[in-house]
Every structure is written in C-alpha cells, then in structure tokens.
Amino acid sequence: MGIRYGRVPQGSNEVEWHFVSHIDCDGIGGLGRLLRERGIGMAKLPETKHPCRGVIAPLWNLWRDSRKEVKCAVRADWLSLGRGTRIPEAVAWHLFTVEETLEVVNRCRRTGLTVNSFLLKHLDHAVRPGIGKPEARLRWLIPVNLRGDIHYDDDTANHVSCVETCIAPDDSIEAIQADILRRLKRGEHRANHLLFMVGGLLSHEVKVDLLRRERAKRKGNIGSFSNLGVWEASGSCGDGWVFCPPVVSGQLLGAGCVTFQGRLGMAIQSHSSSPAVVEGWMTRWLDLIRA
C-alpha cells in the first residue's frame, strides 16, 4: 500500500509521482525520506502538537465513544455505483501559489480556525453531490502524527495513529474543529495506537480474519484526510509538492495536503471513481476554498 507524493519542478506544470510503502513510513516519514534522497536537509521532522500518555483512560474513552449510536452514511452509500468493481486509479491535484496560500492561512487566522479544519469542511462538502445519501453524516479518518510522543530509531518510520470525526452537511468549520480537538484531548489517537501495537502481536491468520470481518461491516469511513503541515527546507529549492494518503478497501477516496516552501499542495485519489469524477471533486473543493 503506497503513499502518493507528487513533485512539481520549479516552473513546470507537470507532476512527477513517487510512492513510499506505508508499511515502512507514514506520510511525514515518506516525505522526509524523499527530500533527504534529493539532498534537501530535513534535520528534524515535525512533532505532535497533541501528546497523550496513559493506557486505561484513552482506551476507556475510545470504547465509550464507540458505544454511542451516531447515524452516518454507510459504505453502500458511496460504493454502490461502482458495485465493488476496481477501475484504474484516478487522481487530481492542485498547487497554490505562495500568495494564494497566504490568503488561505490569513483567512483562517482572522477567524481563529485551523487550515486543517477549513480544508476538511470544504472537502466534505465537495464530495457529497455524488454519494447515495448526501444529506447524511459522513465519517472521516484523520491521521495523527505521534513523533515526540513515541520514539523509534528511524525518524521516518511509521509514527502515525488516527481519530475519526463525523460531519453533518450543516456542521460549521468551528464545530468540526471542536470535535477533532475533543477527540485528541480524550486521547483517542493514543488508544488507536495501542490497539495497532496489540495487532502487531497477532498471527497472520488472525490478522486476515479480523480484516475480513472489518471489511464485511456496513459501517466505515468515507476516506482519509491527511495534512502533513508546513515544511521549510534548508537551502534553495523551488519545487512544489503534493501528497495523498492511500485508499483502502471500503473507502471512496483519500485526500491530502502539504505546505512546502510556502505553497499549499493538495491531491485526491480514488479506486472506485472515474478520473472525471475525481477532477470534479477537486474543482468543487477549490471553488469552495476560494469562495
């Protein structure tokens, strides 16, 4: 399962795609490796802004929250048209200018919002027209960087966990941001990491059985939205970068963004939608961001 990265050389409108195994790296680690391979100094990779300790409290909070019934769209609502048929992977991307990126950042600062919540709200709105129940709540998976909270010898190794948030069509950006922060404060990302670690101790047969059971469930998240944050590389580098997390079975799409040398780059990919559909998502996403 590869993480997609796109390098856009300075002065070019063409993208050069790279893939890094998610087994070896997370999103931040993969980009760190690619930059270092190109001789771009990245002495220290970004660390978490939401450290969390403990075992019992995070696991209890995650279990208790999972017991609360929240009606959301299910996998059939976004995968019914494809009927499970795999089509060639479709991807769309966009790279903002430095000036456009600053406009987005400043707009968020004036309203006390994070760029992450701002982009997620508009992404959610952009993909709704094509699903079976556009009026339903949609569950999104949000990767969380754990560097600084957990430590491995290789700083590019997989230091990632996640939280999930449910978004209704009329939810404000403020409400989405508050829900994500609440989940981080409760340590849901810590609990998920602990469960990942336990899963690593299981036999291959047990893992396959658990995966089969999980994919048979009606419920699931519509996709991942991952923001790798702001990167300032040492030395002169005029390249731009875009990024997109993998799409697993049962998800409709994966969307990601990264701000490299002052330019925000975004990408969306899907295994079950045509290139025209994915381009449509990107077009609507950009229109909403610029509105």
SS (H, E, C) the chain: CEEEEEEECCCCCCCEEEEEECCCCCHHHHHHHHHHHCCCCCCCCCCCCCCCCCCHHHHHHHHHHHHCCCCCCCHHHHHCCCCCCCCCCEEEEEECCHHHHHHHHHHHHHHCCCHHHHHHHHHHHHHHHHCCCCCCCEEEEEEEECECCECCCCCCCCCEEEEEEEECCCCCHHHHHHHHHHHHHCCHHHHHHHHHHHHCCCCHHHHHHHHHHHHHCCCCCCEEEEEEEEECCCCCCCCEEEEECCCCCCCCEEEEEEEECCEEEEEEEECCCCHHHHHHHHHHHHHHHHC
pLDDT tens-place string over residues 235-271: 657 899 999 999 988 899 999 999 999 999 999 999 8
pLDDT tens-place string over residues 199-213: 665 554 544 454 555
Q: Mention every residue, 6+ apart, whose C-beta is less than 8 A from residue 14.
A: 8
Q: Which of 53-57, 96-100, 145-149, 277-281 has the lowest mean pLDDT?
A: 53-57
pLDDT tens-place string over residues 148-180: 888 899 999 999 999 999 999 999 999 999 999
pLDDT tens-place string over residues 91-122: 999 999 999 999 999 999 999 999 999 999 99
Each domain of the chain, given as residue ranges in start order, spans 2-44+51-290
CA gap 287, 39 in Å, rounded: 36
CA gap 178, 144 in Å, rounded: 16
Q: Mean pLDDT score of the chain, rounded to an integer?
A: 87
pLDDT tens-place string over residues 1-27: 689 999 999 888 899 999 999 989 999
pLDDT at 1: 65
Distance, CA of 220 to chain centre: 15
Provide, rounded to the nearest whole percent, the portion of the chain with pLDDT above 70: 87
pLDDT at 48: 85
pLDDT over 60 (residue 84): no
Per CATH, is 2-44+51-290 categorized as 1.10.10.1150? no
Identify whether the C-beta of residue 187 lies closer than 8 Å to the C-beta of residue 93.
Answer: no
Amino acid of residue 186? R
Mean pLDDT confidence for 266-291:
95
Provide, rounded to the nearest whole percent, the portion of the chain with pLDDT above 90: 62
Q: How many angstroms separate the Cα of 101 from the Cα of each of 42, 58, 104?
A: 22, 36, 5
